[in-house]
Structure 1
Amino acid sequence: MLICENLVLKRGSFSLHANMTFDAGKAIALIGPSGAGKSTLLDAIAGFLAPVSGRLLWGDVDLTDADPGERPVSMLFQDNNLFPHLSAAQNVGLGLRPDLRQSAEDATKVAAVLADVGLAGFGDRKPSALSGGQQSRVALARVLIADRPIVLLDEPFAALGPALKDEMLDLVRSKLVSAGKTVIMVTHDPSDARHMADLAALVADGKVSPPLATDHLFADPPPTLKAYLG
Structure 2
Amino acid sequence: MARLPRLYAPQIPQLVQARFAQALGSVPQGESATTLMDRLCTWLGDSAREHRVEVHGWSLVHDRLTLLATPPGPQALPKLVQALGRRYAAQQRQGRVFAERYRSALVEPGRWVLPALIWLESLPAQLSYVDLPENWPWSSAAGHTGAVAAAAAWMVDHPDYWKDGNTPFDRQARYKERLHSGLPAGQRQQIERALFGQWALGDAAFLQQLETQASRRARPAPRGRPRKRPAPQSGPEEA
**TM-score band w.r.t. shorter chain:** under 0.3
Give the TM-score normalised by structure 1: 0.26
Q: Indicate the structure (1 or 2) with the bigger Cα radius of gyration.
A: 2
Greater RCO (Cα-Cα under 8 Å, separation 6 or more): 1
Give the TM-score normalised by structure 2: 0.25
Which structure dedicates a bigger proportion of its chain to strand?
Answer: 1
